[in-house]
Amino acid sequence: MYIEIDKKDKRPLWLQIVDHVIEYIEEGQLSPGDPLVPTRQLARELSISRSSVQIAYEELQSRGYVTTSRRGGTRVCDIMGDHVSADTQDDPPVIPSNPLLEDKSRQAEHWPDMKAEEKAEIDFRLHAPFIDSTFQKAWRQASNTALKENSLFDWGYSSSYGLYSVREQISRYLAIERGIHVEPDQILLTLGARQTMDIIAQALLQEGDLVSVEDPGFPVAWSSMQYRKMEIEPVPVDQQGICVDQISPHTKMIFTTPSHQFPTGVLMSANRRQELIQFARQNQTWIIEDDYDGEFRYRGGPIPSLYSQMPTNILYFLSFTKLLAPGIRLAAVIGPKEAIERLAKVQEFVCRHIPIMEQLTLGQFFETGELLKHVRRMRSIYSKRHRDIIQTLNTSSLSQEFQIQGTDSGLHVLLEANEGFDEYKAVQTALRAGVGVFPLSPYCLNSNRRGLLLGFAHLESHQIIEGVERLAKALN
């Protein structure tokens, strides 16, 4: 066994010996049972300290290449060779196909196919709130304060419910902004809509249960349930909201967006709300109330929640994605104590607890009043942008071709067309004019409703006006 030591090599001497011996073993120049040169002898031959050789041999032994005994010295172990027979292919484990997973992932993304060079100059992208330097500065200050003021205890394992102090702040916020009065143990912090729907499916449903969803509606709601092998019942939406008379009495859960139906923008009427509540009470059905952008209503105050009318059957979902930024993966689900306890147990099993730093920062954002200040500032900004897009649409030729939906609240509008409308052609035509708009059909299950969706929150007023004018000219 010849070992050459290079003292210019950055590797330690002992590691060079290890690498040489392993190379000899793997190449077959050292066979099982062959002795290694005694440590004293090898140290003299290499003109290095014996301790370096001893460290190398100890490392080889710990890796399982050699074994040492008093009588036999250090010898090569019987290492399984890395040789395969000719009829054995070096293939990785087979990943079973899952068409449902692949299909539902595409549905959840729902963006039209666009090449990089086709990126729109004015992109009416959905689900994108306005994020500016004022918000960034306030969030950074809250983060820095959280790092300085909170104790090391806060960085340990915490409750699967989420930090108590943050849930306490959310409880106060809901009372002020929504008229919802709950205790902190009725609140579970989660990582957003997708995780929340998955936890609900695991905690409150059984495989094969019937779940009713709005159609058109929120793809994540039905795709999450289908992935957990629930049966999905698409329920039409009209000008008063979800059509309760078309919901099966056998359904176990109803997903709805009553304050601003997604994606049509319809506000659920008072009569329809009472009808839905009576249905849930009579059939012992859960209602998932997704209040995804309820803060942003431009005529009057926020609409009272379904939860405030019947807290026993309803899980109320509050997301900070639209309120703050999509990158802040925090949400809260509010409901009866027993249901929230079950959800918390599932969350503990799945991910132990959600990230601490985001919770601490959000807690500071609440405590200093920055969150309420941010909500009111955004409401003012979005109100003007909403007014600009509605006015520009109404004075353009688009108002003659489409029915404009979403005129009272929210961060997007719908241009609804007839069922024969070619959405794909319209999207591509708009794109050639430098405008990004999005089709309605990916949000439909059985519905044949067609149209174009325009998110405006992240765009400046001049971009909104120019974008609508370009779109009208292109489609005209």
At 252-293, the pLDDT tens digits run 999 999 999 999 999 999 999 999 999 999 999 999 999 988
Question: Among 100-109, 203-212, 239-248, whose mean pLDDT is lowest?
Answer: 100-109
pLDDT in tens, 173-196: 999 888 899 999 999 999 988 899
pLDDT more than 70, % of the chain: 92
pLDDT in tens, 240-253: 999 999 999 999 99
Question: Among 147-161, 261-275, 374-388, whose mean pLDDT is lowest?
Answer: 147-161
Q: Residue 43 — φ and ψ, nearest 5°?
A: -65, -40
* Same domain (yes/no): 156, 54: no
Q: Determine, yes or no, domain membership for 105.
A: no
* Same domain (yes/no): 391, 360: no
Please report which helix (H) or strand (E) contains residue 22, including its range. helix 13-26
411 pLDDT above the threshold of 70: yes
Average pLDDT, the chain: 89
pLDDT in tens, 301-313: 777 899 999 999 9
Q: Determine, yes or no, domain membership for 4.
A: no
- Tell me the C-alpha distance between 98 and 114, whole Å: 25
319 pLDDT above the threshold of 80: yes
Q: Determine, yes or no, domain membership for 435.
A: yes
The mean pLDDT of 226-248, rounded to a whole number, is 96
- Tell me the C-alpha distance between 76 and 94, whole Å: 35
Q: Determine, yes or no, domain membership for 155.
A: yes
Beta-carbon count within 10 A of 150 CB = 17
From 324, 342, 368, the end of a domain falls on 368
Are 308 and 178 contacting, i.e. CB atoms less than 8 angstroms apart?
yes
414 pLDDT above the threshold of 90: yes
* Same domain (yes/no): 335, 459: no
pLDDT value for 473: 96
Q: What is the CATH number of the domain that holds 412?
A: 3.90.1150.10
pLDDT value for 109: 45
Half-sphere exposure of 476 (CA within 13 A, CB side): 11
* Same domain (yes/no): 210, 352: yes
Question: What secondary structure letter does DSSP report for 120?
Answer: -
From 368, 384, 417, the end of a domain falls on 368
Q: Determine, yes or no, domain membership for 138.
A: yes
Q: What is the CATH number of the domain that holds 42?
A: 1.10.10.10
* Same domain (yes/no): 118, 178: no
pLDDT value for 105: 46
Confidence of residue 299 (pLDDT cuts 50, 70, 90): confident
Question: pTM of the prediction?
Answer: 0.81
Beta-carbon count within 10 A of 295 CB = 20
101 pLDDT above the threshold of 70: no
pLDDT value for 179: 85
Q: Determine, yes or no, domain membership for 98.
A: no
pLDDT value for 82: 58
Q: Determine, yes or no, domain membership for 88.
A: no
Confidence of residue 108 (pLDDT cuts 50, 70, 90): very low
* Same domain (yes/no): 294, 273: yes
From 368, 383, 401, the end of a domain falls on 368
How many domains does the chain divide into? 3
* Same domain (yes/no): 196, 323: yes
The mean pLDDT of 36-59, rounded to a whole number, is 92
Question: Among 152-161, 320-329, 425-434, whose mean pLDDT is lowest?
Answer: 152-161
Kindly give the interhelix angle for 370-394 and 133-149, rounded to the nearest 10 degrees: 160
Q: How far is CA 372 from CA 47, 146, 273, 323, 369, in A?
A: 73, 18, 28, 10, 6
The mean pLDDT of 360-373, rounded to a whole number, is 92
Are 76 and 25 contacting, i.e. CB atoms less than 8 angstroms apart?
yes
330 pLDDT above the threshold of 50: yes
* Same domain (yes/no): 276, 330: yes
110 pLDDT above the threshold of 50: no
429 pLDDT above the threshold of 60: yes
Q: Determine, yes or no, domain membership for 97.
A: no
Structure tokens belonging to residue 135: 């918000």
151 pLDDT above the threshold of 80: no
* Same domain (yes/no): 311, 405: no
pLDDT value for 13: 92
pLDDT in tens, 333-349: 999 999 999 999 999 99
112 pLDDT above the threshold of 80: no
111 pLDDT above the threshold of 50: no
* Same domain (yes/no): 37, 118: no
Q: How far is CA 386 from CA 7, 131, 219, 416, 459, in A?
A: 71, 16, 25, 17, 10
* Same domain (yes/no): 361, 315: yes
First to last CA, the chain: 83
* Same domain (yes/no): 71, 161: no
Range of the domain at 56: 13-76
Are 194 and 220 contacting, i.e. CB atoms less than 8 angstroms apart?
yes
pLDDT value for 207: 94
Confidence of residue 103 (pLDDT cuts 50, 70, 90): low
